[in-house]
């Protein structure tokens, strides 16, 4: 194990500080290290493996598609993309989907869509469009997504970032109201903040944000990359307050733990700002990714993993509260 760690540390860029543990196998909720020791994987790749590691249905879909056709350019049609698009659009109750790869890539696309919608539909002068995000958010580390962050340590040395972004405290509707201007095109938030500390907003906050967006003609963007697809006991965490955003951003578990797949979903009145050439992705929507993602969605539905997540989440919350372990500072859920 030590030799693997030393080799990896020697050649890897220094942007991670992993635990001194080498995992070599995974199946379901369990993983094994190189010494054969077994663990329950509560991290699940930060919500990537919601279906479990190496789920046989998803692995089968992957291997079958890989032996038939893995990738073509989007200048051509593939035989499985349209069916997947129909499936995920029906799930999210949206008209259109933009298929991509990583979650941060999807955030970048959502920023572009919001800016273009702001100038073309809302009539904001191009170059003056504003987007409001939340303090302690995490939407990624690319320049666009990083521009939405208030983490100075993450941003240090990478300026200048995108202009026209501001942040407010998550859960403070009055502060959000004060931040809105005539140039505000979108408000982006995680329904439950992930890296920011599993921060759950006050009851009614998400609904209040929706009302503000409706009042001021602002797009509500829900980053469900980490909390979506069953992680909170609902297909989408927004469902807990019965709120439908204008734009959904999905990723992580959309690829079933086997392949990077992400998506941006919106209705025609928003997505129509994208025309040929305004956005693209070489690997986005490729046949292999779509076969895997289709199977990943089917597993969540057929095995009722969303409902199972709600049941087990309630059980674990009660059990952890009863445990009263001195090393546990707080339990939220």
Fold that domain 58-302 belongs to in CATH: 3.40.640
Q: Which of 249, 136, 152, 252 has the alpha carbon at shortest distance from 199? A: 136
Place of tokens 């970048």: 108
Does 1 have pLDDT greater than 80?
Answer: no
Q: Considering the candidates 94, 116, 122, 252, report the single residue annotated as catalytic.
A: 252
Catalytic choice (223, 234, 236, 246): 223
Known catalytic membership, residue 252: yes
pLDDT at 192: 97
- Catalytic-residue membership of 223: yes
Task: Evaluate if residue 333 carries a pLDDT over 80.
Answer: no
What are the pLDDT digits (tens) for 52-84? 999 999 999 999 999 999 999 899 999 999 999
The domain limits of the chain are 1-41, 58-302
Alpha carbons 23 and 19: distance in angstroms, whole number: 11
Q: For tokens 């369990």, what's the residue?
A: 30
Residue of 138, 234, 236, 246 marked active site: 138
User: Taking residues 254-277, what's their average pLDDT?
Assistant: 98
Measure the CA–CA gap between 137 and 121, rounded to whole angstroms: 27
Is 116 a known active-site residue?
no
Residue 270's H or E segment, with its range, is: helix 268-271
Banded pLDDT at 178 (limits 50, 70, 90): very high
323 — pLDDT class (breaks 50, 70, 90): confident
Contact between 247 and 95 under an 8 Å Cβ cutoff? The reply is no
């Amino acid at each position: 194990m030590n030799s693997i760690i030393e080799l990896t540390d020697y050649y890897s860029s220094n942007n991670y500080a992993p635990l001194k543990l080498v995992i070599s196998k995974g199946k379901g909720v369990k993983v094994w290290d190189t010494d054969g020791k077994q663990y329950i994987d509560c991290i699940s790749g930060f919500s990537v493996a919601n279906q479990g590691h190496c789920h046989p249905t998803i692995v089968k879909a992957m291997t079958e598609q890989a032996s038939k056709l893995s990738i073509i350019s989007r200048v051509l049609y593939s035989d499985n993309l349209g069916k997947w698009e129909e499936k995920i659009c029906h799930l999210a109750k949206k008209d259109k989907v933009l298929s991509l790869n990583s979650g941060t890539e999807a955030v970048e696309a959502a920023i572009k869509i919001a800016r273009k919608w702001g100038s073309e539909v809302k009539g904001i002068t191009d170059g003056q469009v504003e987007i409001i995000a939340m303090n302690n958010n995490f939407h990624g580390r690319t320049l666009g997504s990083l521009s939405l962050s208030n983490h100075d340590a993450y941003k240090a040395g990478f300026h200048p970032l995108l202009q026209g972004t501001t942040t407010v405290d998550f859960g403070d509707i009055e502060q959000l109201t004060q931040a809105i201007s005539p140039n505000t095109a979108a408000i982006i938030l995680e329904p439950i903040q992930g890296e920011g500390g599993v921060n759950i907003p006050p009851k009614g906050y998400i609904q209040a944000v929706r009302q503000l967006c409706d009042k001021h003609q602002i797009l509500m963007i829900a980053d469900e990359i980490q909390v979506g697809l069953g992680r909170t006991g609902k297909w989408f965490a927004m469902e807990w307050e019965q709120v439908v955003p204008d734009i959904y951003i999905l990723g992580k578990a959309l690829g079933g733990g086997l392949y990077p797949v992400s998506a941006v979903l919106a209705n025609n009145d928003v997505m129509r700002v994208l025309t040929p050439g305004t956005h693209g992705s070489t690997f986005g929507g490729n046949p292999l990714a779509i076969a895997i993602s289709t199977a990943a969605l089917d597993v969540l539905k057929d095995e009722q993993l969303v409902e199972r997540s709600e049941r087990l989440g309630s059980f674990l919350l009660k059990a952890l509260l009863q445990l009263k372990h001195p090393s546990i500072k707080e339990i939220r859920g």
